[in-house]
């Protein structure tokens, strides 16, 4: 079953959006497989965003991610990588549709509340980076359509 890595960024934690964001993924029907609150070191943030290291906004992005605690999560379910990105909305909140997390709760691309893996390959890499201890293995026994 497909899994994705979702991170609530420091502004999302500071603004009290953790419950709202978890609720949106739960209500959609995805299963929570990993969850922790942590503050990351600069080198860890640089590793997570290493593909963007040549971008002019990279230093500011790293400062943002290390500025406070983040919530790291693994969610599982059918097409969860792409559907998770749809739930999150476009990178720049000024272009994010209402009803998406960024569309409803963000204005600035530099404070866009949440991260979600952009491909299955990225999800695999990011889950390994953020959850080296592994994640809980469980399945809902209620319904086959609840992942």
Residues identified as active-site: 115
Diameter of the chain measured on Cα atoms: 48
Among the listed residues 18, 22, 66, 109, the single contact to ligand RTP using CB under 6 A: 109
Q: Which stretch binds ligand RTP (CB under 6 A): 32-40, 71-79, 109-117, 132-140?
A: 109-117
Among the listed residues 118, 124, 125, 135, the single contact to ligand RTP using CB under 6 A: 118
Q: Report yes or no: 38 and 147 within 8 Å, Cβ to Cβ.
A: no
Q: Within 10 Å of residue 121's Cβ, how many Cβ atoms?
A: 10
Backbone conformation region of residue 135, classed left if phi is above 0, alpha if psi is from -120 to 50, else beta? beta
Residue in this structure with the two tokens 């070191």, named with its chain if needed: 41
Q: Which stretch binds ligand RTP (CB under 6 A): 37-45, 66-74, 75-83, 112-120?
A: 112-120
Q: Rank residues 94 and 140 by Cβ distance to ligand RTP and give the closer one.
A: 94
Among the listed residues 96, 112, 123, 131, the single contact to ligand RTP using CB under 6 A: 112
Q: Which stretch binds ligand RTP (CB under 6 A): 12-20, 32-40, 104-112, 127-135?
A: 104-112
Closest among 75, 106, 80, 70 to 91, alpha carbons compared: 106
Token pair recorded at residue 71 = 């919530």
44 binds ligand RTP (CB under 6 A): no
Half-sphere exposure of 10 (CA within 13 A, CB side): 14
Among the listed residues 23, 37, 42, 57, the single contact to ligand RTP using CB under 6 A: 57
What is the contact surface with ligand RTP in residues (CB under 6 A)?
Answer: 52, 57, 61, 91, 109-110, 112, 115-116, 118
């Amino acid at each position: 079953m497909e899994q994705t890595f979702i991170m609530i960024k420091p502004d999302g934690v500071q603004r009290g959006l953790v419950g709202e964001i978890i609720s949106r993924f739960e209500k959609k029907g995805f299963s929570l497989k990993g969850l922790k609150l942590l503050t990351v070191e600069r080198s860890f943030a640089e590793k997570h965003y290493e593909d963007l290291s040549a971008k002019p906004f990279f230093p500011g992005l790293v400062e943002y991610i290390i500025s406070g605690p983040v919530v790291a999560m693994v969610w599982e379910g059918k097409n969860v990588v792409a559907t998770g990105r749809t739930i999150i909305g476009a990178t720049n909140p000024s272009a994010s549709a209402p009803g998406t997390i960024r569309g409803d709760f963000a204005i600035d691309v530099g404070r866009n509340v949440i991260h979600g893996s952009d491909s299955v390959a990225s999800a695999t890499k990011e889950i390994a980076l953020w959850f080296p201890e592994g994640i809980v293995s469980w399945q809902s026994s209620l319904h086959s359509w609840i992942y």
